[in-house]
Amino acid sequence: MRDIIRTFVMENFGPYSDILMPTIFIAFFIGTTIFLTLSDRRSIRQVWVTFFFISLVIVNLVGIPALPLIDMHKVAGTPDEKFQTEEVKIADEHGEEIRYDMRAVPPSTHAARGPHTEIDDDMPKEKQIKWAKFMIENAEEYREDILKGDSTLSSFAQPPHHLNSIKWEKENVENMGEFDTVRIYQHKIIYEGGSSDIQSHEINLILEINTTDNSVKIW
């Protein structure tokens, strides 16, 4: 039943999510402010509590978070049989690479949310190189902060952008040379049917950009 409701909502309201989600978020707090203003009335308090729990039940039935309401379903859903994602790594002049710490780039940049929101195979080479230089320049500055012991401040100013984001430590980057290459790896994961057990996990290098010789390699 939950999947049916979710599918119905996504098909009919999905295209308008960019408008609906901010509207729900803003409306919730405007409504709460109004209720708080009139909270001396018992009936108003009852209406707010009823509204809150009905909204929470609807969100959990649909299974789609609508901030500030979240999906608190107790049973974890099984992942899709096939899952694909990308990972950014940065390499030095000797070819040694490390997974990119997304704290290195400002949270507002598209690059922080994933490589293919900012970079893709069809993008002109000049823009691909510009993107790579942006990633490398920020990584170098962030590494300097880490080596100087200023990474704590940087972590508060620019928190990680993903739940699985790694955090560079001094020992990870102090022996690496000058960064000059950005690599994007594609992860293809196939799960056992109806479970979260991994049947296969394939990792392929799909894009490499070297800013020393301005070369771009696509696989």
Edge-to-edge strands, sheet with 82-92: 97-99, 82-92, 179-191, 198-210, 215-218
Average pLDDT rounded to a whole number, residues 197-201: 87
Phi-psi category of residue 95: left, alpha or beta, with phi > 0 → left and psi -120 to 50 → alpha: left
Average pLDDT rounded to a whole number, residues 87-114: 79
Q: Using one digit for the tens of pLDDT, what is the confidence trace for 10-36?
A: 777 767 777 877 887 888 888 888 888
User: What is the value of pTM for the model shown?
Assistant: 0.61
More confident site: 154 or 58: 58
Q: Using one digit for the tens of pLDDT, what is the confidence trace for 33-53?
A: 888 888 888 888 888 888 888
Domain segments of the chain: what residues? 2-62, 82-218
Tokens of 216: 């771009």
Of the chain, the percentage scoring pLDDT greater than 70 comes to 73
Of the chain, the percentage scoring pLDDT greater than 90 comes to 27
Banded model confidence at residue 110, pLDDT cuts 50, 70, 90: low
